[in-house]
Structure 1
């Protein structure tokens, strides 16, 4: 059954009031031609916040207004986290077509960040399931946009980081859900075998989820392809990833165990504990064992680890990047990453590209049908100790990604020059759109994502575990050894 009509009306009245307040605040900035930033709460972005006084607060937009079981759509405000959104839709046997693996990611952030998931080989990026959005424009005007109504605004909102307008409401198409996912791990011994396996299952209509993990040539298994299928009954022994005593997903996959049945919430947010593999780096001086992971479990979930990364300024040392590459460039990309970074594991996520997609910040230079997302989380001896090496590693990665016809998502560190940036993204179309919707006075996408030249910041630990990790992390150990010309390469198995 859908939410009670009275609660829908109440939420909608509240929504309209909050949007009017946002509109009024933006109109004042517009009248003064004063750029502003949007603040909606904690974020996974590595970008820093500027001018805290020129801020539009949207934190009150955190409600699910409606779930329509007949038409299979939901009306959702932007600050609803994905775990709450999925939990509510599952009550009606439905779920979003694409769900990012981190539960704290918000609906608005998932749309603006053009996020994908292990079902993206079938459905594309998350925004493909969004049928329309409500937008407050930079002059305070409130509009709706879809692929048929104001399509340039709709596509322009994807990935432009609030420099065209502020999305305040989403209608999202849902798909049928089940209680479990039947999960199978397929070990692979080479890049070619991994790509062939991913490509084969990406064309299998019976499969619902496909992704890969690459552990490298020196690991017990080079890589594992994880294949999932929705099932209404528990057909295999159950395995979970959400409890303190459960394995982290990437460690479980590395063991390449027998097929299992995973509860749907545990599967969709399988990377929550350990935040993919970032939690591993908290254990430099602490043994990385099942017992220690269990003891520190409260600090090992992605929301808490995100706060650790931000308060300890790990973003100044770690390479935290997501790439999207054409399939024909994947072999060369992985070869470069192995020879130049040697950071493992890598996450591979095939993503369907639709021919009529027209998002400004997601160009398709190779006109390919299937992209591959590559998630990189880690650090090297050089990036841990040298800001110069840190920047150089990012600059080289930016050049390689561009040369191979791919994109690097903008939520993390970016060192492009302005000229380079606008050779990748269509500046003329972007500026024309900003002029049409009165956004010229706002900071541009490049202004928001460019990493300013500044020294690495000192950690400001917040909370018990952050004080612990300040001294026990792999980064702390690596920096100490670096001062003594030592070397440290964290073992990612445990």
Structure 2
């Protein structure tokens, strides 16, 4: 704990220096799972990359003190050694505790526990004036408003340096039941029925088309079940990718009519989407016109994990061409939204993940429009958009408008295509700006500044950044031409596999 206090004191001193000189700054974590451009300037950052330790467990109360830069896989390893697990574990192992808290992160246990931030008891925050405070959700806590507001704020209200997290009892296996569905309505019915079962620990689903999908219901187990296929894992080079295996199970269950069950080691289940990054790896194969078969997936396995693929995505510039959105809608709007999405884009598969919303008085400004009495169905939409930039922006804006029309919410880990007026009609501007003033956060970027993009004159001002120079236009056209950007991303990722490199800091 002494090393932690020394590091936080150093961060506090640097924040005070920025405040005295009125220098705007950003927080640098050393890694990102956001799909937004995240390049930082070395002289205008607060470096929290060394805050990467699990500090202390309280096994009686089932809590852990953890620094924000601890990734999910390291956290799971540490908690499993204590016979415990986080209530919510994001599906990609490189997502950090701080990133999950400051972003909007949910997973297959979120139907019961809500978003990842709902597992927190307290947070240590360095305010914009350098003051170090501990904030909790307790009603008598003077910083209660800060505690709830920091969730989903993308690091724009202060520098979170420590978190106290609630845990649950672990088991070595997850028994996963696969139920085939033939429509969105049937998928919603199965999800809602599973939510009511107190024995269920995990729920999510994959729609492979408007008429074919699978809902997966998980239960923590002390022993594996006895099945012919034995124990199935998804983290080794010779293992199948999870979504492909689920599709094969779907085809078998559609014919047989009975749900299928398998036992998966708990850690392998929690990170089952890591290899292939859900189905993003398939998009990479398509981009390079490579055969998408077992042999090529095995040969290229080192490139198919989220750490490597996110690196390549940023360095290649392809993230600016990809539609990567998690959009939450109420159950009653799910069928209309998914049908609209399928007709508009033809993107399949789609991911389904039910999320329990927070109570109204514990709601962050970023969840202001969510009905606390209605489960939100997160729909994961990932695919390549139009190469024409104005058409690409317009399509993303259509998604955002449709979600708002249906009473839903958008996760802000990705780009946002709202005008500023549109953004603050959805997210609580009055509450957010008041908190920024109260906690001296003016030197940090606002959340809109972090997530906005150039709207290409489609809406709002003609541009949200300066005009593009001839050199910038030439560079964008070159790297946007197939396959130059992709090859550069792969080369950079290869270097990162051999030599640890940093793609977030400007050289």
Q: TM-score, with normalisation over the residues of structure 1?
A: 0.88
What is aligned with 1:362?
367
Question: Helix, strand or coil: the match of 2:234?
Answer: coil
Confirm or deny that 1:35 pairs with 2:28. no
Ranges in structure 1 where 5+ consecutive residues have no aligned partner: 1-11, 469-494
Determine whether 1:164 maps to 2:169.
no
Counterpart check, 1:461 vs 2:454: no
Partner of 2:322: 318
C-alpha distance in structure 2 between counterparts of 1:415 and 1:182, whole Å: 40
- Unaligned 5+ segments in structure 2 are 253-259, 455-462, 480-484, 496-507
Shift of 1:67: 1.6
Task: Name the structure 2 match of 1:103.
Answer: 93
In the alignment, the residues of structure 2 paired with residue 173 and residue 115 of structure 1 have an alpha-carbon distance, to the nearest angstrom, of 16
1:367, CA displacement in angstroms? 4.0
Distance 1:465 1:289, change over 3 A: farther
Q: Is the 8 A contact 1:312 1:466 kept in 2?
A: no
Contact preservation (8 Å) 1:461, 1:467:
no
Answer yes or no: is 1:94 the counterpart of 2:99.
no
SS in 2 for 1:286: coil
Deviates more, 1:450-459 or 1:285-294: 450-459
Give the alignment partner of residue 335 of structure 1, picking from 312, 332, 339: 339
Q: Does 1:56 align with 2:56?
A: no
Q: Deviations over 1:437-479 (max 9, x none)?
A: 11234321111111135665723725548689xxxxxxxxxxx
Secondary structure at 2:379's aligned position in 1?
strand
Alpha-carbon offset, residue 44 of structure 1: 1.2
Q: CA deviation at 1:46?
A: 2.1
C-alpha distance in 2 between matches for 1:201 and 1:357: 26
Whole-Å separation in 2 of the counterparts to 1:466 and 1:160: 29
Give the match for residue 244 of structure 2.
Answer: 251
Alpha-carbon distance in 2 for matches of 1:50, 1:238:
42
- Secondary structure of the residue aligned to 1:255 is helix
Report the equivalent of 2:281: 279
Q: Determine whether 1:352 maps to 2:356.
A: yes
Q: Deviations over 1:171-211 (max 9, x none)?
A: 00100010000111111111110110011101111111110
Partner of 1:176: 169
Residue 398 of structure 2 corresponds to 396
In the TM superposition, residue 282 of structure 1 has moved relative to its aligned partner by: 1.9
Distance in 2 between the 1:122 and 1:249 partners? 23
My pick for the range that moved more, 325-334 or 224-233, is 325-334
Q: Among 181, 184, 193, which residue is 1:191 paired with? A: 184
Secondary structure, counterpart of 1:173 in structure 2: strand
**What are the superposed Cα offsets for residues 315-354 of structure 1, whole Å, 9 maximum, x if unpaired?**
1111011112122211111011011011111110001123
Give the superposed CA RMSD: 1.7
Normalising by structure 2, we get a TM-score of 0.86
Match of 2:214 in 1: 224
Residues of 1 paired with 2:199 and 2:345: CA distance?
36
Q: Write the distance in 2 (CA, Å) between the matches of 1:366 and 1:98.
A: 21
